[in-house]
Copies of this chain bind each other. A is one copy, B any other.
Amino acid sequence: MNGKPLVSIISAGMSKFGKHEGSLGREIFSQAAAEAFNRCPKLDPKKEVKAMFIGHMGESYEHQGHMGATIADWIGMRGVAATRVEAACGSSGAALRTGIYAVLSGLSDVAIVGGVEKMTHRTTAEVTEYLAMAADYPFEQFHGITFPGLFAMMATAHMHSYGTTEQQFGKIAVKNHHHGSLNPKAHMQKEITLETVLSSKYVAWPLKLFDCSLISDGASCIILTKPEIANKYTDQPVHIIGTGQATDAIGLYERESFTSLRSTKLAAEEAYKLANITPDKVDLAEVHDCFTIAELIHYEDLGFCKEGEGGKLVDSGATTLGGKIPVNTSGGLKSKGHPVGATGTAQAYEIYLQLTGQAEKRQVKDAKIGLTHNIGGSGATAAVHIYRNDQ
């Protein structure tokens, strides 16, 4: 099925990312669902949606498991087959993949995939602990390593192998804050300077406070159907033409490389093959910038530049809005925010807006092909999806 639409997005919704004080995750998800339902009045969700997959990373935040049924209940979809999907911070990227399976299976012509997390009511210590569960317990967590430390090791390895600099990491933060300043749903809507990044406190050398993504509340979802019937629901379907998902060792200590994620490479290979395109055909991408070094590594693993040349790509400005391949026009995890379970489908939401000309101040001109890339943990999971607007 190379190059053919696998499934089509007929609608999408997203809550504002940021602090939702006093709200439950299920209530935040309702905002995303309401937007998606309102955007697609021809769909009768209760009657036509047969499957739902909810990306949700941590039952600890709200002391609430069973989030598939909980969300189904609270968005008026009691009865639907609803399942929570978890792949750490890649949970809703994996939910999207699962929704594609469901639609292609023939058992569920319309599916909702989304994600949610409510984090800001917890202390930073609690959030750090809960996030660390995405790393290997006996050999990583137990010994005190948390995510800034894991990504700092990748950063030092990249600096050592390729001469990448703290300035180059910093430029990614500056770019994503610039993009986020143009996104009314972003958690942080303010520009920052390189000086702000470089003078911020070290969290784990060489990563500083402004190299790290945000702790946010938020939810997102998209609605999928078969390409053959997408026009029944909308004049502007966005087709998913490629999907890839892969894993690597759960622990960083067992990886072949610290400067590249094998899971990303495998997932990208699968997705590009199904889409029948090469990386240079991608007009814009949302990639998993949990830390600035992560975005830089993803450039290389996704084929936007050669191995070791991520720093140069940043310097060239190619990944800034207006450049050859704008990355994270939404602001990314760095500025839009990172309610972990919601991130994967929030990336798909941004691409949906961009490819249908609804991205307003941050619109990429003539965007036809978009890509999303979502990882879990330090990269033990990666999901890559490729989107096309045929109009």
Contacts and interface: CB of A to CB of B under 8 A. Distances in A.
A68 interface: yes
B101 A98 contact: yes
Contacts of A310: none
Contacts of A100: 105, 107
Nearest to A80: B247
Nearest to A53: B98
Contact of A68 (B63, B66, B86, B262): B86
Given A78-B249, A81-B247, A133-B64, A69 B376 contact: yes
A50 B68 CA distance: 24
Given A63-B141, A133-B63, A81 B380 contact: no
A285 interface: no
A223 interface: no
Interface stretch (A33-41, A54-62, A359-367): A54-62
Nearest to A135: B66
B64 A137 contact: yes
Interface in A127-163: 133-138, 141
A267 B82 CA distance: 12
A85 B87 contact: no
Nearest to A97: B81
A78 B248 contact: yes
B69 A380 contact: yes
Contacts of A321: none
A382 B85 CA distance: 16
A247 B85 contact: no
A158 B282 CA distance: 60
Contacts of A108: 101
A246 interface: yes
A325 interface: no
Contacts of A72: 247
Contact of A82 (B77, B84, B247): B247
Contacts of A376: 66, 69
B97 A246 contact: no
A63 B58 CA distance: 11
A58 B59 CA distance: 8
Nearest to A83: B94
Interface of A: 1, 24, 51, 57-60, 62-70, 72-74, 77-88, 94, 97-98, 100-102, 104-108, 133-138, 141, 243, 245-251, 254, 262-263, 266-267, 376-377, 380-381
13 contacts: A1-B106, A24-B138, A58-B59, A59-B133, A60-B60, A63-B133, A65-B133, A66-B86, A73-B247, A79-B263, A82-B87, A83-B98, A101-B108
